Structure 1
Amino acid sequence: MIELDNFFYSNDSDVIARFKELISPDNEKMFRNAVLNKEFRLICQYLDGQGYRITQFPNILHTSSSLHSFAYNQIRSYIHTKRNSIGTVTWDERRQLIMALDFIKQDGAVLLVPDDLQTIIRKISLRDATWEQQTDDEKLRTIADVIENLLKLPSGKFLSLNEADFYGLFTNEQLKNLRRQLQVFRHSHEQALESRTSEFDDSRKKFLIHLGIVILIRLNEIKEGLNA
Protein backbone atom coordinates (compact mmCIF):
# COMPACT_ATOMS: atom_id res chain seq x y z
CA MET A 1 0.00 0.00 0.00
CA ILE A 2 1.28 3.46 -0.95
CA GLU A 3 0.08 6.34 1.21
CA LEU A 4 0.51 9.92 -0.02
CA ASP A 5 -0.98 12.12 2.66
CA ASN A 6 -4.69 11.15 2.56
CA PHE A 7 -4.47 9.38 -0.80
CA PHE A 8 -3.94 5.61 -1.02
CA TYR A 9 -2.79 3.39 -3.90
CA SER A 10 -2.11 -0.33 -4.23
CA ASN A 11 1.21 -0.05 -6.08
CA ASP A 12 3.15 2.07 -8.59
CA SER A 13 0.93 0.93 -11.45
CA ASP A 14 -2.08 2.19 -9.52
CA VAL A 15 -0.35 5.54 -8.96
CA ILE A 16 0.42 5.88 -12.69
CA ALA A 17 -3.15 4.94 -13.60
CA ARG A 18 -4.46 7.63 -11.25
CA PHE A 19 -2.04 10.17 -12.79
CA LYS A 20 -3.50 9.46 -16.23
CA GLU A 21 -7.02 9.66 -14.83
CA LEU A 22 -6.34 13.08 -13.30
CA ILE A 23 -5.02 14.55 -16.57
CA SER A 24 -7.77 13.05 -18.74
CA PRO A 25 -9.90 15.57 -20.69
CA ASP A 26 -12.91 13.88 -19.08
CA ASN A 27 -11.69 15.49 -15.85
CA GLU A 28 -11.16 18.95 -17.41
CA LYS A 29 -13.79 20.72 -15.31
CA MET A 30 -11.83 19.68 -12.20
CA PHE A 31 -8.35 20.75 -13.37
CA ARG A 32 -8.36 23.72 -10.98
CA ASN A 33 -9.79 21.81 -8.03
CA ALA A 34 -7.53 22.31 -4.99
CA VAL A 35 -7.80 18.73 -3.71
CA LEU A 36 -7.02 17.20 -7.11
CA ASN A 37 -4.12 19.61 -7.62
CA LYS A 38 -2.71 18.50 -4.28
CA GLU A 39 -3.05 14.85 -5.28
CA PHE A 40 -1.45 15.58 -8.68
CA ARG A 41 1.57 17.25 -7.05
CA LEU A 42 1.95 14.43 -4.52
CA ILE A 43 1.86 11.83 -7.29
CA CYS A 44 4.47 13.76 -9.29
CA GLN A 45 6.73 14.02 -6.24
CA TYR A 46 6.33 10.32 -5.47
CA LEU A 47 7.04 9.11 -9.00
CA ASP A 48 9.99 11.50 -9.30
CA GLY A 49 11.39 10.20 -6.02
CA GLN A 50 11.06 6.63 -7.26
CA GLY A 51 13.14 7.45 -10.33
CA TYR A 52 10.33 7.57 -12.88
CA ARG A 53 10.37 9.78 -15.96
CA ILE A 54 7.76 10.26 -18.68
CA THR A 55 9.44 9.85 -22.07
CA GLN A 56 7.26 12.47 -23.78
CA PHE A 57 7.62 14.97 -20.90
CA PRO A 58 10.99 14.19 -19.26
CA ASN A 59 10.92 16.99 -16.67
CA ILE A 60 7.24 17.19 -15.71
CA LEU A 61 7.48 14.96 -12.62
CA HIS A 62 10.36 17.05 -11.29
CA THR A 63 8.72 20.45 -11.76
CA SER A 64 5.92 22.01 -9.73
CA SER A 65 3.46 22.31 -12.61
CA SER A 66 -0.22 22.64 -11.77
CA LEU A 67 -2.75 20.08 -12.98
CA HIS A 68 -4.30 22.58 -15.40
CA SER A 69 -0.93 23.74 -16.74
CA PHE A 70 0.14 20.22 -17.61
CA ALA A 71 -3.13 18.50 -18.48
CA TYR A 72 -4.43 21.35 -20.63
CA ASN A 73 -1.62 23.66 -21.76
CA GLN A 74 1.38 21.34 -22.07
CA ILE A 75 -0.57 18.37 -23.44
CA ARG A 76 -2.13 20.53 -26.17
CA SER A 77 1.20 22.21 -26.96
CA TYR A 78 2.88 18.80 -27.35
CA ILE A 79 0.19 17.67 -29.79
CA HIS A 80 0.55 20.92 -31.78
CA THR A 81 4.29 20.31 -32.05
CA LYS A 82 4.02 16.65 -33.02
CA ARG A 83 1.49 17.27 -35.79
CA ASN A 84 3.29 20.48 -36.82
CA SER A 85 0.10 22.53 -36.89
CA ILE A 86 -1.90 24.63 -34.46
CA GLY A 87 -5.66 24.72 -34.10
CA THR A 88 -8.21 22.76 -32.15
CA VAL A 89 -6.94 19.75 -30.22
CA THR A 90 -9.69 17.19 -29.82
CA TRP A 91 -10.39 15.24 -26.67
CA ASP A 92 -9.64 12.07 -28.61
CA GLU A 93 -6.15 13.36 -29.49
CA ARG A 94 -5.51 14.13 -25.85
CA ARG A 95 -6.80 10.73 -24.73
CA GLN A 96 -4.55 8.96 -27.25
CA LEU A 97 -1.48 10.83 -26.03
CA ILE A 98 -2.32 10.19 -22.37
CA MET A 99 -2.81 6.47 -23.03
CA ALA A 100 0.57 6.39 -24.82
CA LEU A 101 2.53 8.16 -22.07
CA ASP A 102 5.62 6.06 -21.44
CA PHE A 103 6.73 5.88 -17.80
CA ILE A 104 10.29 4.62 -17.44
CA LYS A 105 12.09 3.93 -14.18
CA GLN A 106 15.75 4.83 -13.99
CA ASP A 107 18.20 3.55 -11.40
CA GLY A 108 20.69 5.78 -9.64
CA ALA A 109 21.08 9.53 -9.80
CA VAL A 110 19.35 11.22 -12.72
CA LEU A 111 20.58 14.44 -14.25
CA LEU A 112 17.64 16.25 -15.81
CA VAL A 113 18.08 17.72 -19.26
CA PRO A 114 16.59 21.25 -19.42
CA ASP A 115 13.67 21.72 -21.81
CA ASP A 116 15.52 24.14 -24.10
CA LEU A 117 18.38 21.66 -24.45
CA GLN A 118 15.86 18.87 -25.11
CA THR A 119 14.56 20.94 -28.03
CA ILE A 120 18.06 21.13 -29.54
CA ILE A 121 18.59 17.40 -28.98
CA ARG A 122 15.34 16.48 -30.74
CA LYS A 123 16.14 18.73 -33.70
CA ILE A 124 19.54 17.11 -34.10
CA SER A 125 18.40 13.53 -33.44
CA LEU A 126 18.15 11.42 -36.59
CA ARG A 127 14.75 10.12 -35.43
CA ASP A 128 13.34 13.07 -33.46
CA ALA A 129 14.11 11.29 -30.18
CA THR A 130 14.32 12.84 -26.74
CA TRP A 131 17.43 12.23 -24.66
CA GLU A 132 15.65 9.52 -22.66
CA GLN A 133 14.57 7.64 -25.80
CA GLN A 134 18.09 7.30 -27.22
CA THR A 135 20.43 4.32 -26.93
CA ASP A 136 23.87 4.84 -25.41
CA ASP A 137 25.51 4.99 -28.86
CA GLU A 138 22.90 7.51 -30.00
CA LYS A 139 23.52 9.62 -26.90
CA LEU A 140 27.25 9.73 -27.60
CA ARG A 141 26.60 10.77 -31.19
CA THR A 142 24.14 13.39 -29.94
CA ILE A 143 26.67 14.76 -27.45
CA ALA A 144 29.21 15.20 -30.25
CA ASP A 145 26.67 16.85 -32.56
CA VAL A 146 25.17 19.14 -29.92
CA ILE A 147 28.60 20.27 -28.69
CA GLU A 148 29.37 21.37 -32.25
CA ASN A 149 25.95 23.04 -32.54
CA LEU A 150 26.42 24.99 -29.30
CA LEU A 151 29.99 26.03 -30.12
CA LYS A 152 29.15 27.32 -33.60
CA LEU A 153 28.32 31.04 -33.74
CA PRO A 154 26.01 32.69 -36.31
CA SER A 155 29.14 34.11 -37.98
CA GLY A 156 30.31 30.58 -38.73
CA LYS A 157 33.17 30.86 -36.27
CA PHE A 158 33.41 28.74 -33.13
CA LEU A 159 32.96 29.93 -29.57
CA SER A 160 36.26 30.37 -27.76
CA LEU A 161 36.18 28.93 -24.27
CA ASN A 162 38.54 29.31 -21.36
CA GLU A 163 39.07 27.40 -18.15
CA ALA A 164 37.01 29.91 -16.16
CA ASP A 165 33.91 28.95 -18.17
CA PHE A 166 34.08 25.56 -16.42
CA TYR A 167 35.18 26.98 -13.06
CA GLY A 168 38.74 25.74 -13.52
CA LEU A 169 37.67 22.11 -13.78
CA PHE A 170 37.70 21.61 -17.56
CA THR A 171 39.87 23.14 -20.26
CA ASN A 172 39.33 23.86 -23.93
CA GLU A 173 41.94 21.22 -24.80
CA GLN A 174 40.09 18.63 -22.76
CA LEU A 175 36.90 19.52 -24.62
CA LYS A 176 38.72 19.02 -27.93
CA ASN A 177 39.96 15.64 -26.69
CA LEU A 178 36.41 14.61 -25.76
CA ARG A 179 35.16 15.61 -29.20
CA ARG A 180 37.92 13.53 -30.83
CA GLN A 181 36.95 10.47 -28.77
CA LEU A 182 33.31 10.82 -29.78
CA GLN A 183 33.98 11.05 -33.52
CA VAL A 184 33.57 7.29 -34.00
CA PHE A 185 29.93 7.60 -32.93
CA ARG A 186 29.23 10.12 -35.69
CA HIS A 187 30.25 7.68 -38.44
CA SER A 188 28.99 4.26 -39.50
CA HIS A 189 31.85 3.01 -41.66
CA GLU A 190 33.46 -0.31 -40.73
CA GLN A 191 36.50 1.15 -38.96
CA ALA A 192 34.33 3.38 -36.77
CA LEU A 193 32.07 0.47 -35.83
CA GLU A 194 35.10 -1.67 -34.95
CA SER A 195 36.51 1.14 -32.79
CA ARG A 196 33.24 1.43 -30.88
CA THR A 197 33.37 -2.28 -30.07
CA SER A 198 37.06 -2.58 -29.24
CA GLU A 199 37.66 0.72 -27.43
CA PHE A 200 34.37 1.52 -25.69
CA ASP A 201 32.97 -0.88 -23.12
CA ASP A 202 29.72 -0.11 -21.27
CA SER A 203 31.54 1.51 -18.35
CA ARG A 204 33.41 3.94 -20.59
CA LYS A 205 30.25 4.78 -22.52
CA LYS A 206 28.32 5.52 -19.32
CA PHE A 207 31.13 7.74 -18.06
CA LEU A 208 31.26 9.71 -21.32
CA ILE A 209 27.47 10.09 -21.33
CA HIS A 210 27.43 11.48 -17.78
CA LEU A 211 30.37 13.78 -18.52
CA GLY A 212 28.91 14.80 -21.86
CA ILE A 213 25.50 15.85 -20.57
CA VAL A 214 27.10 17.99 -17.84
CA ILE A 215 29.19 19.70 -20.52
CA LEU A 216 26.14 20.20 -22.77
CA ILE A 217 24.19 21.83 -19.95
CA ARG A 218 27.09 24.17 -19.18
CA LEU A 219 27.71 25.04 -22.85
CA ASN A 220 24.02 25.78 -23.26
CA GLU A 221 24.17 28.14 -20.27
CA ILE A 222 27.21 29.90 -21.75
CA LYS A 223 25.51 30.23 -25.16
CA GLU A 224 22.34 31.62 -23.56
CA GLY A 225 24.46 34.14 -21.67
CA LEU A 226 25.92 35.39 -24.94
CA ASN A 227 22.44 35.76 -26.45
CA ALA A 228 20.94 37.52 -23.42
Structure 2
Amino acid sequence: MKIYTKALITTLPLVFFFLAATVGISYYFSRNALTYLAEEWLSTRASEAIRIVKKHESVLHQYNLEKIPASLIKAKMDAIKEISGIKIGKRGYLLVVDTHGNIIFHPNKHYVDTDVYAENWYKRLKNEKSRMFLTIKHEKSLAITDFFPEWGWFLLAVDPKKEVYGLADQMRPYLLSLGFSAAIILSLVLMLLSRRLIKPLQLLVQGVERI
Protein backbone atom coordinates (compact mmCIF):
# COMPACT_ATOMS: atom_id res chain seq x y z
CA MET A 1 0.00 0.00 0.00
CA LYS A 2 1.35 3.43 -0.94
CA ILE A 3 2.39 5.90 1.76
CA TYR A 4 -0.10 8.44 0.37
CA THR A 5 -2.98 5.98 0.70
CA LYS A 6 -1.93 4.99 4.22
CA ALA A 7 -1.81 8.63 5.30
CA LEU A 8 -5.30 9.30 3.98
CA ILE A 9 -6.75 6.17 5.59
CA THR A 10 -5.28 7.29 8.92
CA THR A 11 -6.20 10.96 8.84
CA LEU A 12 -9.56 11.15 7.05
CA PRO A 13 -11.52 9.23 9.72
CA LEU A 14 -10.09 11.57 12.35
CA VAL A 15 -11.20 14.60 10.35
CA PHE A 16 -14.75 13.25 10.00
CA PHE A 17 -14.84 12.27 13.67
CA PHE A 18 -13.82 15.70 14.94
CA LEU A 19 -16.23 17.47 12.61
CA ALA A 20 -19.09 15.20 13.67
CA ALA A 21 -18.16 15.78 17.32
CA THR A 22 -18.13 19.55 16.75
CA VAL A 23 -21.58 19.50 15.16
CA GLY A 24 -22.94 17.26 17.91
CA ILE A 25 -21.50 19.38 20.71
CA SER A 26 -22.84 22.58 19.13
CA TYR A 27 -26.32 21.09 18.87
CA TYR A 28 -26.15 19.72 22.43
CA PHE A 29 -25.16 23.05 23.97
CA SER A 30 -27.72 24.95 21.91
CA ARG A 31 -30.48 22.68 23.24
CA ASN A 32 -29.19 23.07 26.79
CA ALA A 33 -29.15 26.84 26.44
CA LEU A 34 -32.71 26.84 25.11
CA THR A 35 -33.81 24.55 27.94
CA TYR A 36 -32.32 26.90 30.52
CA LEU A 37 -33.98 29.95 28.96
CA ALA A 38 -37.31 28.14 28.70
CA GLU A 39 -37.12 27.03 32.34
CA GLU A 40 -36.40 30.56 33.50
CA TRP A 41 -39.26 31.92 31.42
CA LEU A 42 -41.72 29.26 32.59
CA SER A 43 -40.58 29.73 36.18
CA THR A 44 -41.49 33.42 36.07
CA ARG A 45 -44.91 32.57 34.62
CA ALA A 46 -45.53 29.94 37.32
CA SER A 47 -44.45 32.39 40.02
CA GLU A 48 -46.79 35.00 38.58
CA ALA A 49 -49.68 32.52 38.76
CA ILE A 50 -48.83 31.69 42.38
CA ARG A 51 -48.78 35.39 43.26
CA ILE A 52 -52.22 35.83 41.73
CA VAL A 53 -53.66 32.93 43.72
CA LYS A 54 -52.03 34.13 46.95
CA LYS A 55 -53.43 37.61 46.40
CA HIS A 56 -57.00 36.37 46.11
CA GLU A 57 -56.59 33.97 49.01
CA SER A 58 -55.18 36.73 51.23
CA VAL A 59 -58.26 38.87 50.53
CA LEU A 60 -60.42 36.09 51.92
CA HIS A 61 -58.35 36.02 55.10
CA GLN A 62 -58.35 39.78 55.35
CA TYR A 63 -62.14 39.85 55.58
CA ASN A 64 -62.53 36.45 57.31
CA LEU A 65 -64.30 34.99 54.29
CA GLU A 66 -62.15 31.88 53.79
CA LYS A 67 -64.77 29.59 55.38
CA ILE A 68 -67.69 30.93 53.39
CA PRO A 69 -68.16 28.63 50.34
CA ALA A 70 -69.60 31.30 48.06
CA SER A 71 -66.73 33.68 48.80
CA LEU A 72 -64.16 30.93 48.29
CA ILE A 73 -65.67 29.95 44.95
CA LYS A 74 -65.75 33.60 43.87
CA ALA A 75 -62.09 34.07 44.84
CA LYS A 76 -61.07 30.98 42.87
CA MET A 77 -63.03 32.11 39.82
CA ASP A 78 -61.40 35.54 39.98
CA ALA A 79 -57.96 33.95 40.32
CA ILE A 80 -58.59 31.69 37.32
CA LYS A 81 -59.77 34.64 35.26
CA GLU A 82 -56.58 36.54 36.06
CA ILE A 83 -54.38 33.50 35.46
CA SER A 84 -55.96 33.04 32.03
CA GLY A 85 -54.40 36.34 31.01
CA ILE A 86 -50.85 35.06 31.48
CA LYS A 87 -49.23 34.47 28.09
CA ILE A 88 -46.46 31.95 27.46
CA GLY A 89 -45.04 32.29 23.98
CA LYS A 90 -47.24 31.31 21.06
CA ARG A 91 -48.37 27.89 22.23
CA GLY A 92 -47.59 27.80 25.96
CA TYR A 93 -50.25 28.00 28.65
CA LEU A 94 -51.03 27.78 32.37
CA LEU A 95 -52.62 24.60 33.65
CA VAL A 96 -54.28 24.23 37.07
CA VAL A 97 -54.98 20.79 38.53
CA ASP A 98 -56.28 19.98 42.00
CA THR A 99 -55.11 17.25 44.37
CA HIS A 100 -57.94 14.99 43.19
CA GLY A 101 -56.56 14.99 39.65
CA ASN A 102 -59.21 17.25 38.14
CA ILE A 103 -58.21 19.97 35.70
CA ILE A 104 -59.43 23.26 37.16
CA PHE A 105 -58.19 25.47 34.36
CA HIS A 106 -56.95 24.91 30.82
CA PRO A 107 -57.12 27.45 27.98
CA ASN A 108 -59.06 24.84 26.03
CA LYS A 109 -62.36 24.64 27.93
CA HIS A 110 -62.96 21.09 26.67
CA TYR A 111 -60.21 19.89 29.03
CA VAL A 112 -61.69 21.53 32.15
CA ASP A 113 -62.97 18.96 34.69
CA THR A 114 -61.01 16.21 32.93
CA ASP A 115 -59.73 13.57 35.35
CA VAL A 116 -55.95 13.15 34.97
CA TYR A 117 -55.38 11.30 38.23
CA ALA A 118 -54.19 8.18 36.39
CA GLU A 119 -51.81 10.09 34.13
CA ASN A 120 -48.13 9.39 34.68
CA TRP A 121 -47.20 13.07 34.76
CA TYR A 122 -49.80 13.80 37.44
CA LYS A 123 -48.32 11.13 39.70
CA ARG A 124 -44.94 12.86 39.42
CA LEU A 125 -46.21 16.24 40.63
CA LYS A 126 -44.53 17.48 43.80
CA ASN A 127 -45.69 19.79 46.57
CA GLU A 128 -42.91 22.19 45.63
CA LYS A 129 -41.57 24.03 42.63
CA SER A 130 -40.03 21.62 40.14
CA ARG A 131 -39.38 20.91 36.49
CA MET A 132 -40.85 18.06 34.50
CA PHE A 133 -41.52 16.79 31.00
CA LEU A 134 -45.06 15.65 30.37
CA THR A 135 -47.33 14.54 27.57
CA ILE A 136 -50.82 16.02 27.39
CA LYS A 137 -53.09 14.92 24.56
CA HIS A 138 -50.15 13.36 22.69
CA GLU A 139 -48.12 16.59 22.85
CA LYS A 140 -44.78 16.49 24.67
CA SER A 141 -44.10 19.59 26.73
CA LEU A 142 -41.74 21.14 29.25
CA ALA A 143 -43.37 22.39 32.45
CA ILE A 144 -42.46 24.23 35.62
CA THR A 145 -44.82 23.21 38.40
CA ASP A 146 -45.70 24.77 41.73
CA PHE A 147 -48.16 23.96 44.49
CA PHE A 148 -50.60 26.15 46.43
CA PRO A 149 -51.54 24.09 49.51
CA GLU A 150 -54.32 26.38 50.78
CA TRP A 151 -56.48 25.49 47.79
CA GLY A 152 -54.83 22.20 46.90
CA TRP A 153 -53.86 23.47 43.46
CA PHE A 154 -50.97 22.43 41.26
CA LEU A 155 -50.08 25.23 38.87
CA LEU A 156 -48.14 24.27 35.76
CA ALA A 157 -46.54 26.65 33.29
CA VAL A 158 -46.41 24.52 30.14
CA ASP A 159 -44.71 25.01 26.79
CA PRO A 160 -44.63 22.38 24.00
CA LYS A 161 -41.18 20.98 23.24
CA LYS A 162 -41.65 21.89 19.59
CA GLU A 163 -41.73 25.54 20.60
CA VAL A 164 -38.95 25.25 23.21
CA TYR A 165 -36.54 23.47 20.88
CA GLY A 166 -37.87 24.88 17.63
CA LEU A 167 -34.78 27.01 16.97
CA ALA A 168 -32.34 24.20 17.79
CA ASP A 169 -34.26 21.74 15.61
CA GLN A 170 -34.23 24.25 12.76
CA MET A 171 -30.48 24.66 13.19
CA ARG A 172 -29.76 20.93 13.07
CA PRO A 173 -30.03 20.49 9.26
CA TYR A 174 -27.85 23.57 8.74
CA LEU A 175 -25.26 22.28 11.21
CA LEU A 176 -25.22 18.90 9.48
CA SER A 177 -24.88 20.53 6.06
CA LEU A 178 -22.13 22.80 7.33
CA GLY A 179 -20.29 19.88 8.90
CA PHE A 180 -20.62 17.77 5.74
CA SER A 181 -19.40 20.62 3.53
CA ALA A 182 -16.50 21.34 5.86
CA ALA A 183 -15.58 17.64 5.86
CA ILE A 184 -15.45 17.56 2.06
CA ILE A 185 -13.38 20.75 1.85
CA LEU A 186 -10.95 19.60 4.55
CA SER A 187 -10.66 16.20 2.90
CA LEU A 188 -9.71 17.79 -0.42
CA VAL A 189 -7.22 20.11 1.27
CA LEU A 190 -5.78 17.21 3.22
CA MET A 191 -5.43 15.14 0.06
CA LEU A 192 -3.55 17.94 -1.70
CA LEU A 193 -1.29 18.59 1.27
CA SER A 194 -0.63 14.91 1.76
CA ARG A 195 0.28 14.50 -1.89
CA ARG A 196 2.71 17.41 -1.72
CA LEU A 197 4.29 16.30 1.54
CA ILE A 198 4.57 12.65 0.64
CA LYS A 199 5.82 13.11 -2.93
CA PRO A 200 9.45 13.79 -1.82
CA LEU A 201 9.31 10.68 0.36
CA GLN A 202 8.04 8.62 -2.56
CA LEU A 203 10.89 9.88 -4.74
CA LEU A 204 13.34 9.02 -1.98
CA VAL A 205 11.91 5.52 -1.62
CA GLN A 206 12.02 4.99 -5.38
CA GLY A 207 15.64 6.13 -5.41
CA VAL A 208 16.56 3.71 -2.64
CA GLU A 209 14.80 0.86 -4.43
CA ARG A 210 16.81 1.51 -7.60
CA ILE A 211 20.10 1.25 -5.73
TM range (shorter): under 0.3
Relative to its length, the structure with more strand (as a share) is 2
Q: Which of structures 1 and 2 has the larger relative contact order (alpha carbons within 8 angstroms, sep 6+)?
A: 2
TM superposition score normalised by structure 2: 0.28
